[in-house]
Every structure is written in C-alpha cells, then in structure tokens.
Amino acid sequence: MKECARFAPRLTAKEGELSAEERGELERHLAGCEECRRIEQDLRAVEGLVGHGLTRAAARRDFSGFADQVMARVAAEEPGPGALRRLGAWFRAHRVLAVGTALAPVAAAAALVIYLSESGPSGPPVGEVDVVTEGRSATVLRTSDGPVVLIGDDEPT
C-alpha cells in the first residue's frame, strides 16, 4: 500500500507530464498491482466523461460571429484623446448644466448689449433748456410737468 500511495498522484498524469523514468516506474507498478490498475481505469473513465461533457456543452453554444462581436466592441471603445472623450461623456451626462454653462456667456453678452443700448450715450440731462432768441429776452419756467418758455415782446435790434 505504501507503494500504491506513492504512485497514486501519477495515475491521472497527462502525456508529457512524467519523465521517462517516472513513467517506467509507474508502468512497472501497474503491471504488478491490480488495485491501482482498476483505480487508474476508473479515473480515466471519469476524465473522459468530463471532457466529453464539456465538449458537448461547448458545441451547443453558437460561437459564430464571436470574433466579430469582440472586435466591434474593441473598436467602439477605442480610446480617443482622453480629455475630449471625458468632456463629451460629461456633456452627455449633464445636458442641462452643459447647455446652461454654454448659454451663460451669451446671456451675459445680451445683458450687456441691452444695458448699453438702454443707457446709451449720456446726452443732455433732463430739464436742460437752451434758448436762443436774437434780440429778444427769453424766460424759462421749470415745472414738474416740463419747461415753459416765454419770449419777450421787445423787437429784435
């Protein structure tokens, strides 16, 4: 049994896993040990069943187009310039904020234009009256409703 225990790990060894010396020792032991031959046959049978089952499961799966799908995903996720790609993703994720941010300078420019157009040139102040009468006197009365301008009766000289 001590010999059997030593050779047990080698019973399921695949082709090339054992050296020629190890393979020779195992074959000599199997030739003289019926129990180990039975165990080795059982293990080979189980191994064959598992392999066969996996092969059948794989065969049921349709792998046609698998490579194309993988390549399509690789192409879709092709990294562009990092900063631009991240900026684009951010814009797509925050559309409202992005639009607001983009329109803010436009709104500021509009407010400035409106302010400038409404304030306009300063011009003469309200209530300023400049009367020129050749040879006649002029009187300006200021009221809250507006100015009243009187011209004198004296004839021009």
Partner 1 sequence: MNRLALAAALCCTLLALPSPAAAAGVPVRVRVLEGSRKGPAQVDAGLRDLQPQLSRLSYQRWTQVKEEQRELEPGKPASFTLPDGSALELVIQEARKDAVTFQLRVPAHQTSSRLTISKDQRIVHQVAPEKDGAAVFVSIRPWP
Minimum CB distance to partner 1, residue 76 (Å): 20
Number of residues that bind partner 1 (CB under 8 A): 42
151 three-state secondary structure: strand
Q: Which stretch binds partner 1 (CB under 8 A): 9-17, 29-37, 39-47, 139-147?
A: 139-147
Minimum CB distance to partner 1, residue 51 (Å): 55
For residue 65, give the DSSP letter: T
Distance CA(93)–CA(146), nearest Å, equals: 60
> Are the C-beta atoms of 3 and 38 separated by less than 8 Å?
no
Instruction: Tell which one of 10, 29, 37, 136 touches partner 1 (CB under 8 A).
Output: 136
Nearest to partner 1 of 82, 156 (CB atom): 156
Distance CA(97)–CA(91), nearest Å, equals: 8
Name the token pair of 30: 């199997």
Distance CA(56)–CA(54), nearest Å, equals: 5
Minimum CB distance to partner 1, residue 127 (Å): 7
List binders of partner 1 among 91-120 (CB under 8 A): 91, 98-99, 102-103, 106, 109-110, 113, 117-120
Does the footprint of partner 1 cover residue 79 (CB under 8 A)?
no
Distance CA(78)–CA(68), nearest Å, equals: 15
Minimum CB distance to partner 1, residue 70 (Å): 30
Distance CA(8)–CA(37), nearest Å, equals: 10
Residues that bind partner 1 (CB under 8 A): 91, 98-99, 102-103, 106, 109-110, 113, 117-121, 123-136, 138, 141, 143-153, 156
